[in-house]
Amino acid sequence: MTTQKTGGERQLQGQVKWFDPGKGFGFVVADEGGRDILLHANVLRNFGQGSVVDGSRITIVVQDTQRGLQATEVVEIIPPADETTPPLRDMEEFTPEDIAQRPIEPARVKWFDKAKGFGFANVFGSNADVFIHIEVLRRSGLADLQSGEAIGLRIVDGERGRMALEVIGWEAAIH
């Protein structure tokens, strides 16, 4: 069923209520209130991400349709700040500025299990695994990763091998 356009586009800010990559959609609550706004996976992918963590601040372009407001473009995503979660031991010494100084390495997700809270990726041109902890994923603004998904990683050599400090959607990483 096709959703027909009924009104012009405008930009809104809000918060991600929930997003389910398996279902391919989620909802945003606008700061100005009103009904929930549909956020489709294709719109999120056009921004360069396959998922977004619940509670993220988001700036979107929306359009009125016969079924309500629907996001047509993601402008910005800011992951939720969670000061209650202690940093991972391998990350304690790194400030956000230190992490941002590290190069973005192109990688592909080998597997990621949200229930277990971790997964692995391989940097292009290398068979060595890079560990991805769910907390790093959440702090990067992502909720889940799919096997085979192209991503950008900022990596550190930790106590137990290579570990992602930040995960970036591939489209966002190449800009």
Per-residue model confidence (pLDDT) at position 97: 84
**pLDDT tens, per residue, the chain with 175 residues:** 334 445 688 999 999 999 988 888 999 999 999 899 999 999 988 888 888 888 889 999 999 988 889 999 999 988 877 655 445 565 667 777 888 889 999 999 999 998 888 999 999 988 889 999 988 988 888 888 989 999 999 999 877 789 999 998 877 666 5
Is residue 132 within 8 Å of 120, Cβ to Cβ? Answer: yes
Topology of the domain comprising 89-173: OB fold (Dihydrolipoamide Acetyltransferase, E2P) (2.40.50)
At 23, which amino acid appears?
Answer: K
Topology of the domain comprising 5-78: OB fold (Dihydrolipoamide Acetyltransferase, E2P) (2.40.50)
Residue 103: how many CB atoms within 10 A of its CB?
8
Per-residue model confidence (pLDDT) at position 67: 86
What's the N-to-C CA distance of the chain in angstroms? 34
φ/ψ of 106, rounded to 5, equals -70, 135
pTM assigned to the model: 0.64
Is residue 77 within 8 Å of 15, Cβ to Cβ? Answer: no
Tokens of 164: 């992602």
Per-residue model confidence (pLDDT) at position 161: 86
Per-residue model confidence (pLDDT) at position 4: 43
Intrachain domains 5-78 and 89-173 with the same fold: yes
Q: How many Cα atoms within 13 Å fall on the side-chain side of residue 118? A: 10
Give residue limits of the domains in the chain. Answer: 5-78, 89-173
